[in-house]
Structure 1
């Protein structure tokens, strides 16, 4: 990112229309533009008197990121008195606690603190596919403005008995889940008095990552700031359809609502070679083509390559050599090894974990604070997997072993509950307690964002992140696009997943695929390269030999310093 705002970012700041759509693909300075937008509105007196500007995000990490950017453009008093930065679940929780009684709801029900649905499914002894089906049934039943009775009628119509049992238990325990909060918030905002209160309090609204909005969340925002909302994001990064997001529908509604559209197309993240590859996918993703902000500053113009392997094992061996080659020349750099689904990545995970000499960070492992890590490791030393998995309540069996009920601090209990849920998931997959113990890391998730070395993650987990190098592995039909993607809408989202993976790269991008890939059952499948490797994309990619030549010719001092 350049230190000085670009002309288009300044246009975002200075546009007087309160209804604004900012189309901002990966690396184009979206967060900077949003922070400037808030600064401009405050300096123009939009939030006069006691009124404030609401900034809504989808995660705590995004909330912290935009707050940090705002500190660069606002005084401490402006940030404190004029801006409310909150994620959608936090906004829904505030509405529920403050106004549930206004529409006859009980504000005393428990708010969600962890994945309560998954925990109940684990208690019931359900496995991965069953848990996913329960999640889907509950989510789909709750994405409209309906009460609990209607939710139960919808579940009965679907016929998922496990989901019905979980919902009955939720009502009995007076518990809200992450799917219930926006539903309750929408019911509350349907009350004109409450909606009027929030509309009067917030002079304007800004939404980060509009493409991730569900119709329900958009209706919430409209009740607070219709016509006065700045939306920022990118259709090509709309990869959360499984949570209820509908990027095209949301985009069309926003275009109808706002007065002005500004498109940022200058990337400050990626080399010309990476951008050329990402641009080649735009016919499949319906995204915007990008230009490189400073093409001459990238050593050798960067690199984008396609590499084929006979087997997933040989791919993993090659990947270890490639990681060694990079980190021996530029030890401070970060390499993202990304697969659409985690099981396809397991060969690379094993090969890299067995290789001494550089750090390997597995993003789907437990990242625990020191005390929680100590308790989990101590628990795992005494776990009998068979006894836990065959017990009447596996969650409670693990909690007893971990002395969970001795903990008094709510934060400590939440951290340990989440960690034990992760342990149970791995035990269910057949991992030995000693192997799980080796995967416990101490720290917090923020430590992953800047650590050099190799990072192992999924395409969805990488959204919003960047790496010096990205190795997209398993670029095969069945993995990306995922084998369950059959409809045009599902295939569109799968192309966007690949685009998101590719656009994480700064210097270099490698798209890797193999012919022989063993399934978890042991059956070896013959795979074809992904259908997304179109002639247009391949025209922007070099091969393995070209990649080696680039490595030999590159100015690695410049690469390491970029």
Structure 2
């Protein structure tokens, strides 16, 4: 056996049978169906390392693309640990940026154009030219619509028809959005600028239309790996096809059960139809779940097993590999504050029993649900981190600390003194270890700086010889990869933001119909199924302890009539009056007193609005939304926007009329 073969066997040694099959498939089209917690990153990095060791490809000819800088950084880190350097692991946008910057003189006749990193200003000017009245929320929605159109390769001219076919709910009439889209594109052309979607589009164009460019890029990159392939959109697929140039040396990795980004343009049919597109494709299923206990895995399988059967590649049924754990808990509460208080108390108990706060997460469907949990955790004295906020390395206190550490590193450091030195440097900013402030911004600042100390402690445990210059270099690498250190706090995150993460204990909250599934999805069965997959993603984030909860009313004292999520039918126990079955979809809403009068008044207004718009009444607002409005009686547009079923478009169309009806 040659040295390369021995190295290859060593790479495969720690893999299970299915992972080994996938990792040793190093030629031709390969599709790896990897369920949650089945070790997909381990598998694809070992596949690349195995291919390099056995001579199937040279590392510099491999391009691995994924969706986040952190995931790309993780690929590079793991490959380096396997002794493989030179592989390009990047996001789609980073790979396109690198190639287009090099070939811009040939393709564009000059240097790389400036990049629009935030569309809002340009979109706002385009909306003003279209005489649309906008606020920051509607501008964000307009920008999102333009991004969806560009990722699905829709032009301004065909946007209205494509949006209608996709069931989009744009913030303005589709024709107006198309006008803003066209004006936005014209403004970019006048300014000679590109946006992030243009990076992919122009790079694909360069490969398709410039033979010298395509020959050079295709000679460089001959083997491709695409992570999270279920999330690829038509624009990304076009670029991938351009990179391949008709070749078939591509390995895709994905999970049909975690398709949750269709609203951004992602198209799971590329994954589902891979074996049809490549008749000789090798398809490998990874179903052994090493993340979660059999109890969590069993619940996840039951949840996704209720989904409508989809065409294409076979589904995945997870097989729990860990030791037995506690059964998932189901909890019903009278109202949302009571639910939040109970969850915060449970978090407090877990932390007191020794579970690190960073190993606990509270997951919800929409970001607006976070506030009540922020308040409850603060009252319980439990630190928390809101995922999706400002990036860690862009926080002012972190930037200041890194500058100070860099300055201290310039003077050298003593071996074995990294942690005390980091503590001393941070103390000069006013940080005091073991004395966190009571809350608010000061607490956030303290947690950020404490995370740097904790990172230093962890790194020294792995490498006792690490000095301050090495630590500063490590921080720079993490900043480039957007790989933030662990901050000691319970994670508050939306279900979408939680994808790719995991915790020891997970609380999935707010599980009522109209929220999970979200009310906007109820008119389309495929959208409801995507909501089920979103809940599946949330459930499979838990390693050991899982709690699913809901509340029967939004506010204390309101009628307790909200039905729990339909996805819990057959999962949560139905014994006792405390766990009522979900109401039939057309059940009559019964409200007492003033709330009942308001509900009837709102129904009368809705009937008039529906007749004026020539649409069915439920298109204006379903009864569940009217019920929520009647129960909470919002006094401002902001309060109204916080209710389920009130999107920015509905708010613009009907918000003032609803408030007027409530006040009449």
TM-score, length-scaled by structure 1: 0.75
Q: 1:164 to 1:151 in 2, by over 3 A?
A: closer
1:6 aligns with 2:24: no
Match of 1:261 among 264, 279, 283: 283
1:11 deviation in Å? 1.2
Whether the 8 Å contact between 1:338 and 1:473 is mirrored in structure 2 is yes
Match of 1:288 among 311, 316, 319: 316
Q: 1:152 to 1:12 in 2, by over 3 A?
A: same
Whether the 8 Å contact between 1:51 and 1:200 is mirrored in structure 2 is no
Greater Cα shift, 123-132 or 176-185: 123-132
Name 1:140's counterpart in structure 2.
148
C-alpha distance in 1, partners of 2:158/2:67? 29
Match of 2:175 among 136, 155, 158: 158
Match of 2:55 among 45, 48, 62: 45
1:373 deviation in Å? 4.3
**In structure 1, the residue corresponding to 2:223 is in which secondary structure?**
strand
Q: For 1:14-25, list aligned pairs within 5 A.
A: 14-25=24-35
> 1:496-540: per-residue Cα shift (whole Å, max 9, x none)?
111111100000111111111159xx99895211111121x2369
C-alpha distance in 1, partners of 2:75/2:316? 23
Q: 1:446 to 1:277 in 2, by over 3 A?
A: farther
1:202 deviation in Å? 1.6
Q: For 1:112-131, list aligned pairs within 5 A.
A: 112=116, 114=117, 116-120=118-122, 126-131=134-139
C-alpha distance in 1, partners of 2:349/2:156? 55
Name 1:234's counterpart in structure 2.
255
**In structure 1, the residue corresponding to 2:195 is in which secondary structure?**
coil
Match of 1:500 among 537, 545, 554: 537
**In structure 2, the residue corresponding to 1:510 is in which secondary structure?**
strand
Whether the 8 Å contact between 1:476 and 1:513 is mirrored in structure 2 is yes
C-alpha distance in 1, partners of 2:578/2:16? 37
Name 2:198's counterpart in structure 1.
180
Greater Cα shift, 454-463 or 484-493: 484-493
Name 1:271's counterpart in structure 2.
293
- Which has the bigger relative contact order, CA under 8 A and spacing at least 6? 1
1:448 deviation in Å? 6.2
C-alpha distance in 1, partners of 2:236/2:148? 14
1:532 aligns with 2:551: no
> 1:227-280: per-residue Cα shift (whole Å, max 9, x none)?
111111201111111221011344214552261000000011001111011101
1:479 deviation in Å? 1.3
1:198 deviation in Å? 2.3
**In structure 2, the residue corresponding to 1:10 is in which secondary structure?**
helix
Q: How large is the Cα RMSD of the aligned pairs?
A: 3.5
Q: For 1:198-217, list aligned pairs within 5 A.
A: 198-217=217-236
TM-score, length-scaled by structure 2: 0.64
Q: 1:16 to 1:439 in 2, by over 3 A?
A: closer
C-alpha distance in 2, partners of 1:28/1:544? 36
Name 1:384's counterpart in structure 2.
none
Whether the 8 Å contact between 1:367 and 1:442 is mirrored in structure 2 is no
Between structure 1 and structure 2, the one with the greater Rg is: 2
Whether the 8 Å contact between 2:201 and 2:239 is mirrored in structure 1 is no
Q: 1:369 to 1:442 in 2, by over 3 A?
A: farther
C-alpha distance in 2, partners of 1:47/1:5? 21
Whether the 8 Å contact between 1:20 and 1:229 is mirrored in structure 2 is yes
1:332 deviation in Å? 2.4
- The number of aligned residues is 468
Whether the 8 Å contact between 1:17 and 1:259 is mirrored in structure 2 is no
**In structure 2, the residue corresponding to 1:110 is in which secondary structure?**
coil
Whether the 8 Å contact between 2:153 and 2:234 is mirrored in structure 1 is no
Name 1:33's counterpart in structure 2.
43
Q: For 1:27-426, list aligned pairs within 5 A.
A: 27-48=37-58, 52-73=61-82, 75=83, 78-80=84-86, 83-104=87-108, 107-112=111-116, 114=117, 116-120=118-122, 126-143=134-151, 151=156, 158-160=175-177, 161-191=179-209, 193=211, 194-225=213-244, 226-253=247-274, 255-257=276-278, 259-283=281-305, 284=307, 287-294=315-322, 297-298=323-324, 301-332=325-356, 334-356=359-381, 358-369=382-393, 372-373=396-397
Instruction: Give structure 2 stretches of 5+ with no counterpart.
Output: 1-11, 161-172, 310-314, 401-438, 450-478, 580-664
Q: 1:163 to 1:326 in 2, by over 3 A?
A: same
C-alpha distance in 1, partners of 2:136/2:269? 30
Whether the 8 Å contact between 2:385 and 2:492 is mirrored in structure 1 is yes
C-alpha distance in 1, partners of 2:399/2:14? 48
**In structure 2, the residue corresponding to 1:308 is in which secondary structure?**
strand
